[in-house]
């Protein structure tokens, strides 16, 4: 696991004052549910400070400053665009960023008012991202936890989760789907992907998709990782529309289901015996993945 650092609002304010004095008078307050990869703070009313919480997450800062300004004009929904890049200071060890604040609430199963419309909007976003020239984009690596590379990167985690879940879930079916995902071939044509299309990174306004945030795992490579959302958030009908709108072939769909299976098995194993909403969601998603053989 990454060795994470803590950052206080006072410390974040000192970083701003030292490096961007034009903003020194603005209040700095913690963002509620500010994420895992970054410590996040409001800067005034319309900006946000993002400070990577570990060295591994800081690898994405340079990438985001290089590519998000180029990706944003090609996409049908707002994404974060950096306003300034900070340096280590005030006892904080990594590069960091200031972004414009994007309004919205994180998507949940209950808050999406039109599951079919949501799936269509998300498919349109993914299609537009895939349409951006990928010839010079960042290849999979430590900067994005090898999103866009082979699923075998995560095989040890999957097998460990299945061992822990034996007797609690249909391990035989999960093994079968995982094997299918590993065997499904990618044609090798690089395309852009977000890398972490998840509930917390999809923002809603009035229950409809309004923005996509947190591109720390973005890159170019196999786009199947962006299909995991089809099982982790979309309804069954929405999943069908999402696949058709993107024109996903059987092999890519199998790999995408593998990404969803990895993420969900680990969540189920980590929450085994718990009864909270996250644990219930993980078990529900896993049931849906194991039942979907399409």
Q: How far apart are CA 212 and CA 102, in angstroms?
A: 9
Say what the pLDDT of residue 275 is: 83
Q: Where are the domains of the chain?
A: 9-100, 105-291
87-143: per-residue pLDDT in tens? 999 999 999 999 999 999 999 999 999 999 999 999 999 999 999 999 999 999 999
199-209: per-residue pLDDT in tens? 999 999 999 99
DSSP string, 148-179: TS-GGGGHHHHHHHHHHHBTTB-HHHHHHHHH
- Reading the block at residue 9, the tokens are 């609002």
Task: Check for a shared fold between 9-100 and 105-291.
Answer: no
Give CATH for domain 9-100.
3.30.200.20
142-190: per-residue pLDDT in tens? 999 999 999 999 999 999 999 999 999 999 999 999 999 999 999 999 9
> Looking at the domain 105-291, which fold is it?
Aminoglycoside 3'-phosphotransferase; Chain: A, domain 2 (3.90.1200)
Burial class (CB in 10 A: 0-12, 13-18, 19+), 237: exposed
220-271: per-residue pLDDT in tens? 999 999 999 999 999 999 999 999 999 999 999 999 999 999 999 999 999 9
First to last CA, the chain: 35
Q: Could you give the percent of the chain with pLDDT greater than 90?
A: 94
pLDDT level of residue 293 (50, 70, 90 thresholds):
confident
**pLDDT higher than 90, residue 195:** yes
Q: How far apart are CA 49 and CA 42, in angstroms?
A: 6
**pLDDT higher than 90, residue 276:** no
> Which of the pair, 4 or 35, is modelled with greater confidence?
4
Say what the pLDDT of residue 294 is: 66
């Amino acid at each position: 696991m990454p060795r994470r650092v803590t950052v206080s609002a006072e410390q974040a304010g000192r970083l701003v004052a030292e490096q961007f004095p034009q903003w020194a008078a603005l209040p700095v307050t913690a963002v509620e549910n500010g994420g895992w990869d970054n410590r996040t703070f409001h800067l005034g009313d319309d900006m946000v400070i993002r400070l990577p919480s570990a060295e591994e997450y800081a690898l994405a800062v340079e990438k985001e400053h290089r590519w998000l300004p180029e990706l944003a004009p090609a996409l049908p929904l707002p994404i974060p665009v950096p306003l300034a890049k900070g340096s280590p200071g005030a006892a904080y060890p990594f590069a960091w960023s200031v972004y414009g604040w994007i309004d919205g609430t994180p998507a949940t199963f209950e808050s999406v008012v039109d599951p079919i419309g949501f799936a269509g909007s998300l498919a349109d976003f993914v299609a537009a991202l895939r349409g951006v020239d990928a010839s010079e984009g960042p290849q999979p690596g430590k900067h994005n936890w090898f999103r866009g590379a082979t699923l075998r990167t995560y095989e040890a985690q999957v097998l460990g989760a299945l061992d822990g879940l034996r007797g609690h879930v249909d391990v035989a079916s999960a093994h079968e789907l995982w094997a299918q995902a590993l065997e499904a071939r990618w044609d090798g044509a690089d395309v852009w992907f977000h890398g972490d299309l998840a509930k917390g990174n999809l923002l809603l306004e009035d229950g409809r998709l309004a923005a996509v945030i947190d591109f720390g795992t973005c890159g170019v490579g196999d786009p199947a990782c962006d299909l995991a959302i089809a099982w982790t958030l979309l309804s069954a009908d929405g999943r069908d529309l999402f696949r058709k709108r993107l024109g996903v072939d059987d092999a890519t769909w199998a790999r995408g289901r593998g990404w969803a299976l990895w993420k969900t098995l680990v969540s189920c194993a980590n929450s085994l015996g718990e009864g909270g909403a996250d644990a219930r969601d993980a078990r529900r998603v896993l049931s849906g993945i194991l039942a979907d053989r399409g």
